Amino acid sequence: MAMLEVKNISISFGGLKAVDDFNITIEKGQLYGLIGPNGAGKTTIFNLLTGVYKPDCGRILLDGQDITGHKTAAINRAGIARTFQNIRLFKDLSVLDNVKVGLHNHYRYSTLAGIFRLPSYRKAEKDMDERAMELLKVFDLDREFAYKASNLPYGKQRKLEIARAMATDPKLLLLDEPAAGMNPNETAELMNTIRFVRDHFDMTILLIEHDMKLVSGICERLTVLNFGHMLAEGPTGEVLNDPQVIAAYLGE
Amino acid sequence: MKAYKKKVLVQNTITYALVIASYLLIQALIAGDLINSLLKGLLVPLCIYVILAVSLNLTVGILGELSLGHAGFMCVGAFAGAFFNQMMEPSLPSDQLRFLIALFVGAAVAAAFGILIGIPVLRLKGDYLAIVTLAFGEIIKNVINVLYVGVDSRGIHLSFKDVASLGLEESGRVIIKGAQGITGTPKTATFTIGIILVLITLFIVLNMIHSRTGRAIMAIRDNRIAAESVGIDITKYKLMAFSVSAALAGVAGVLYAHNLATLAATPKNFGYNMSITILVFVVMGGIGSIRGSIIAAVVLTLLPEMLRGLNDYRMLIYAVVLIVMMLLTSSPRAIEMRERFFAFRKTGKKGA
């Protein structure tokens, strides 16, 4: 069974059809790319998948479970985590606490246990600290754990966003332009990180990206979007050589 | 990791120590008869203001929503507590015990109002939320002003008209008398009880901030959309912060009610002026800084009393201070000077 199956979703804002009859099927463990010119509706699709918008029609199945129209928080608990195009960290919290917020639903204790520092609080906090540090180490952020998130350099902020998303233990990870604003070195490092996340956590990843080097370097399959319509779909090599795609997006 | 955790612990300990040290200092001054009666009368109100400031900081600093209705929750707590005290007087003769239970009753009723008001209000943001909470605060005060409640053998009677329409039996007692409020509540509140309540408030607020709940609340403050995307139930945690904040304001209200012979809802004690005064404590002490709230509440309550001699010039001084503060914090020239001063101090230290 496919990890994500999106069937014929559409949404319009006023008279504008932002996404029209969109379909995608992502198998478990796949690294999938969503590309297209600015305003094609890529981020809108992410917002539809994560419940920020409700589709006008169509269905979204995650690992066989229908999540169409569910709330954002519920969809995360069902197994979709995401990062944002414009970084959205908890800027006044420490790097460690950012990840611990991601662990929120996996290590539970009641508010009263927290206030009275009951054993359940101590145990859960200890486990959370350990798990969070493990994750930070994976993303090479462990030395900065006490920094305020807003004090991290840009590249590390992007990584922290991925670490936070991974803390929610998702089945599917959505990355919205992870390489935006990065220099070639940082991009190369990011490619390694994304590949590592896929292999290490056996993760299914869908990413939006404009950096063709990154897309052709790591994505196995691509969907190209143009003005809300699907232009092409298939293995990366084929799609990037499709004359239609070259005309609409890549240029001669 | 250990050093990081220790820092939080040290910061919290300083806050508790500050409160306990000032308590001991004042007790010593009282024992040595070095304190005038005016100041003595201010001790319980000081505790009340500190509790209010710390609890409002939970909404304003930690949840990040501007609430201007805090005095309304204090009002609810005060009346619920005093009403309970008077109603139970025949069956529970101990003043202290009734006061103790009244604290819980006041907190519970204020928390219930916090949830009730929070459900519609927390859908709003920023200025809109501030204005609606302001309105709710005023509504609470005005409703209590026309509320008549009596007790007789058949139970509790309510009216919004007058005492006669309560239809009490002869043995019945009127407890809340509209604009006259509640009279005859025993004056059980003491400075020691006040300080204990301050410490309990600090314990609840500080421990909550440094727990899973507090992190969720601060995550919502920093970025609601991101918090939602990692599976945090926004409504639940917003309501949690808002109602805990209201409950603690309710406790302050009960303390207030048991420090006065007559409790009436006037614009002076429960009006929007009071809400704004509490907000000023929070803002002056630094939004989000619990220790700052305590210090600001104490200083801003004591200063006007200490400087009573300069009463005529108060507004003049206030205006001048405000202008100077604004210049110092936002004028580019002042910022530059300040930075140069601190840089100088740093290098000066190195040389020495």
Q: Which residues contact A150 (CB under 8 A, 6 or more apart)?
A: A89, A91, A92
Q: Nearest residue on chain B to A133, judged by CA atoms?
A: B1
Q: What number of CA atoms fall less than 13 Å from residue B52's CA on the CB side?
A: 37
Chain B CB contacts of A74 below 8 Å? 231
Burial class (CB in 10 A: 0-12, 13-18, 19+), B81: buried
DSSP state of A16: E
- Cβ separation of A73 and B233 shorter than 8 Å? yes
Q: What is the pLDDT of residue B351?
A: 41
Q: Which residue carries 């207030």 as its tokens?
A: B256
Q: Nearest residue on chain B to A49, judged by CA atoms?
A: B229
Residue finishing a domain among B306, B321, B339: B306
Quick one: tokens of A95? 């790097």
B213 and B319 fall within a common domain: no
B318 and B211 fall within a common domain: no
End-to-end CA distance of chain B: 33
Any CB–CB contact under 8 A between B230 and chain A?
A: yes
Instruction: State how far the Cα of B191 lies from the Cα of B193, in Å rounded to an integer.
Output: 6
Taking any CB pair shorter than 8 Å as contact, residues of chain A touching chain B are 50, 52, 71-74, 76-77, 81-82, 84, 88-94, 96-97, 100-102, 104-105, 107-109, 111, 114-117, 121, 124-125, 129, 133, 145-146, 164-165, 167-168
Provide the residue count of chain B: 352
pLDDT digits over B247-286, tens only?
999 999 999 999 998 999 988 889 888 999 899 899 888 8
Which CATH number do you get for residue B59? Answer: 1.10.3470
Chain B CB contacts of A125 below 8 Å? 211-212
- Comparing CA positions, the residue from B230, B212, B237 lying closest to residue A102 is B230
Residue B8 lies in a domain: no
In contact, A28 and A204? CB cutoff 8 Å: yes
Instruction: State how far the Cα of B31 lies from the Cα of B54, in Å rounded to an integer.
Output: 29
Distance from the Cα of B97 to chain A's closest Cα (Å) equals: 24
- Cβ separation of B219 and A84 shorter than 8 Å? no
Below-70 pLDDT ranges, chain B:
344-352
Return phi, psi of residue B287, to 5°: -60, 130
Burial class (CB in 10 A: 0-12, 13-18, 19+), B44: buried
B256 and B193 fall within a common domain: yes
Residue B20 lies in a domain: no
Instruction: State how far the Cα of B77 lies from the Cα of B48, in Å rounded to an integer.
Output: 12
In contact, A213 and A205? CB cutoff 8 Å: no
B242 and B161 fall within a common domain: yes
Q: Which residue carries 């007087």 as its tokens?
A: B89
Q: Which residues contact B189 (CB under 8 A, 6 or more apart)?
A: B44, B99, B255, B256, B258, B259
Any CB–CB contact under 8 A between B232 and chain A?
A: yes
Instruction: State how far the Cα of B25 lies from the Cα of B15, in Å rounded to an integer.
Output: 16
Q: What is the mean pLDDT of residues A96-106?
A: 97
Q: Nearest residue on chain B to A128, judged by CA atoms?
A: B212
Q: What is the pLDDT of residue A252?
A: 66
Domain range list for chain A: 1-79+170-252, 90-169
Distance from the Cα of A101 to chain B's closest Cα (Å) equals: 6
Quick one: tokens of B339? 């930075």
- Chain mean pLDDT for chain B: 90
Q: Nearest residue on chain B to A161, judged by CA atoms?
A: B226
Instruction: State how far the Cα of B113 lies from the Cα of B137, in Å rounded to an integer.
Output: 11
Look up the domain containing B337 and give its range: 311-352
In DSSP notation, A129-150 reads: HHHHHHHHHHTT-GGGTTSBGG
Return phi, psi of residue A147, to 5°: -65, 150
Q: How far is CA A151 from CA A142, A145, B105, in A?
A: 15, 11, 45
Chain A CB contacts of B222 below 8 Å? 89-93
Residue B21 lies in a domain: no
Coil vs helix vs strand at B276: helix
Helices (H), B32-124: 37-57, 70-87, 95-121
Distance from the Cα of B205 to chain A's closest Cα (Å) equals: 8
Mutate which: B204, B230, B238, B245, vs A, most A CBs within 10 A: B230
In DSSP notation, A173-228 reads: EEEESTTTT--HHHHHHHHHHHHHHHHHHT-EEEEE---HHHHHHH-SEEEEEETT
Residue finishing a domain among B270, B287, B306: B306
Beta bridge partners of A16: A13
Q: Is the pLDDT of residue A90 over 80?
A: yes
B46 and B187 fall within a common domain: yes
- Cβ separation of B208 and A146 shorter than 8 Å? no
B117 and B231 fall within a common domain: yes
Chain A CB contacts of B218 below 8 Å? 90, 92-93, 97
In contact, A242 and A232? CB cutoff 8 Å: yes
Q: What is the pLDDT of residue B283?
A: 86
- Cβ separation of B211 and A77 shorter than 8 Å? no
End-to-end CA distance of chain A: 38
B235 and B326 fall within a common domain: no
CATH class, A1-79+170-252 region: alpha beta
- Cβ separation of A101 and B216 shorter than 8 Å? yes
Q: Nearest residue on chain A to B8, judged by CA atoms?
A: A146
B89 and B65 fall within a common domain: yes
Q: Nearest residue on chain B to A149, judged by CA atoms?
A: B222
Residue B30 lies in a domain: no
How high is the ipTM of this complex?
0.93
How many distinct structural domains can be found in chain B?
Answer: 2
pLDDT band for position A55 (50/70/90)? Answer: very high
Instruction: State how far the Cα of B73 lies from the Cα of A2, in Å rounded to an integer.
Output: 53
